[in-house]
């Protein structure tokens, strides 16, 4: 079964840090570009970050201002998001998603996790 399972969410104080994890199973993680997408309560989807299969290419949303770092461990089939200097605006459900990619073209984010909730509050 194609599966992504996020973990690491929780309650954190403003200015704090959190590391999210995403465990992949059932597909070739090593050859997959991966993404983080978030959704604030009652709001729309926001793309957060992307990392290529060999970590050669990494991109972030402009709104993050250098506070987040995406990484992966292909040996462990895992994706990570290190989040620092968290503020109330980072409160959201965070999803990891695979971007189906081939021959220089993306074919959509076709596998999604169930999400992990991050709440930033004092």
Partner 1 sequence: AIQMTQSPSSLSASVGDRVTITCRASQGIRKDLAWYQQKPGKAPELLIYLASRLQSGVPFRFSGSGSGTDFTLTIGSLQPEDVATYYCLQDYDYPWTFGQGTTVEVK
Nearer to partner 1, 60 or 80 (CB): 60
Q: How far is the CB of 35 from partner 1 (least distance, A)?
A: 8
* Contacts with partner 1, residue ranges (CB under 8 A): 35, 37, 44-47, 50, 59-62, 95, 97, 99-100, 105-110, 112-115
- Could you give the CA distance from residue 61 to residue 49 in angstroms, rounded to a whole number? 6
Could you give the C-alpha distances from 65 to 4, 22, 36, 59, 62, in angstroms and in order? 27, 23, 16, 12, 6
Nearer to partner 1, 107 or 121 (CB): 107
Using DSSP bridges, classify how beta strands 78-83 and 105-112 pair: parallel, antiparallel or unpaired. unpaired
Nearer to partner 1, 12 or 37 (CB): 37
């Amino acid at each position: 079964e194609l599966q992504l399972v996020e973990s690491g969410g929780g309650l954190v104080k403003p200015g704090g840090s959190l590391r999210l994890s995403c465990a992949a199973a059932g597909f070739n993680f090593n050859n997959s570009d991966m993404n983080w997408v978030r959704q604030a309560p009652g709001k729309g989807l926001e793309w957060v970050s992307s990392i290529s299969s060999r970590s050669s290419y990494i991109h972030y949303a402009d709104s993050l201002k250098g506070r987040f770092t995406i990484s992966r461990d292909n040996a462990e089939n895992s994706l990570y998001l290190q989040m620092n200097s968290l503020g109330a605006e980072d409160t959201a459900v965070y999803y990891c998603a695979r971007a189906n990619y081939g021959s220089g073209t993306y074919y959509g984010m076709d596998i999604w996790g169930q999400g992990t909730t991050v709440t930033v509050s004092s």
